Amino acid sequence: MSTTLSPRSDTRSRIITVALELFAENGYEKTSLREIADRLGVTKAALYYHFKTKDDIVHGIVEAMAQPIDEAIAWGEKQPWSPEVRDELVRRFAAGMVERAPLLRFFHENQPALRGSPSGHEFKQRMIGMIRLVHGPNASFDDRLRATMALFSVNSALFLLKQDLDDDGAHPAQCEETATLEQAVAASLTVALEIAGRIEPGAA
């Protein structure tokens, strides 16, 4: 009769999953609630039983997916800044985001829709928090930019990967073989650490 740690409801989390999928693939604006409902085999009205508004679904997504970031932030806030901490943060972020690639993509590619949305803001704050921890206190604009790019690295890698797949083999020996997801992520981490490595300790 009782499940340990029962999710708020099955439908609710299925909505979150499917919505993120569609939002990431087709964009927030181009994804209608009908599409989400159809793919789930329920009615639009059912969505409204679980979420007050379309934007509230985004809220649900963030709430359900941002945990690794929150943990990384929580951890980072307890450490005094050091190059090691910095690198560890980058690593943790990358690790957490690999399986959540759609979340990052959604966030990056839907800024206009998220601008002015409370839930969009919510996630942006987390990103900004991470960035701040990575570059540490008293950072120059250069270093803040490095921190930003280091974290966005995963995203660029995913962009590139997607490009390769869309071309499906149409690149004539110009480049090497198409990378796998794992390779892409590895590359993203390599480059991210390179970039972050140039961040200099805050000038007192």
Footprint of a copy of itself (CB under 8 A): 26-30, 108-113, 115, 128, 132, 137-142, 144-146, 148-149, 152-153, 156-157, 159-160, 163, 174-176, 179, 183-184, 187-188, 190-191, 194-195, 198
CB of 87 to a copy of itself, least distance (A): 17
* Alpha-carbon dihedral sign for residues 199, 136, 75, 72: negative
CB of 175 to a copy of itself, least distance (A): 6
Task: Choose the contact partner of 174 out of DNA, a copy of itself, none; CB within 5 to 8 A by kind.
Answer: a copy of itself
> How far apart, in whole angstroms, are the C-alpha atoms of residue 31 and residue 119?
17
Please name which of 179, 127, 164 lies closest in space to residue 149, comparing C-alpha atoms.
Answer: 127
Is 115 a binding residue for DNA by CB under 7 A? The answer is: no
Widest distance between CA atoms in the chain:
60
Cβ neighbours of 59 (radius 10 Å): 19
Cβ neighbours of 9 (radius 10 Å): 11
CB of 97 to a copy of itself, least distance (A): 15
Between 28 and 123, name the residue whose CB sits nearer to a copy of itself: 28
> How far apart, in whole angstroms, are the C-alpha atoms of residue 192 and residue 61?
26
H or E element that contains 13: helix 10-26
Q: Which of residues 13-52 bind DNA (CB under 7 A)?
A: 31-35, 42-46, 48-50, 52
Please name which of 117, 134, 138 lies closest in space to residue 56, comparing C-alpha atoms.
Answer: 117
Query: Which residue carries 């980058």 as its tokens?
Result: 90
> How far apart, in whole angstroms, are the C-alpha atoms of residue 47 and residue 98?
28
Between 16 and 139, name the residue whose CB sits nearer to a copy of itself: 139
Between 18 and 33, name the residue whose CB sits nearer to DNA: 33
Task: Choose the contact partner of 32 out of a copy of itself, DNA, none; CB within 5 to 8 A by kind.
Answer: DNA
**Of residues 13, 17, 27, 55, which one binds DNA by CB under 7 A?**
55
Q: Which of residues 85-114 bind DNA (CB under 7 A)?
A: none
> Applying CB under 7 A, which residues contact DNA?
9, 11, 31-35, 42-46, 48-50, 52-55
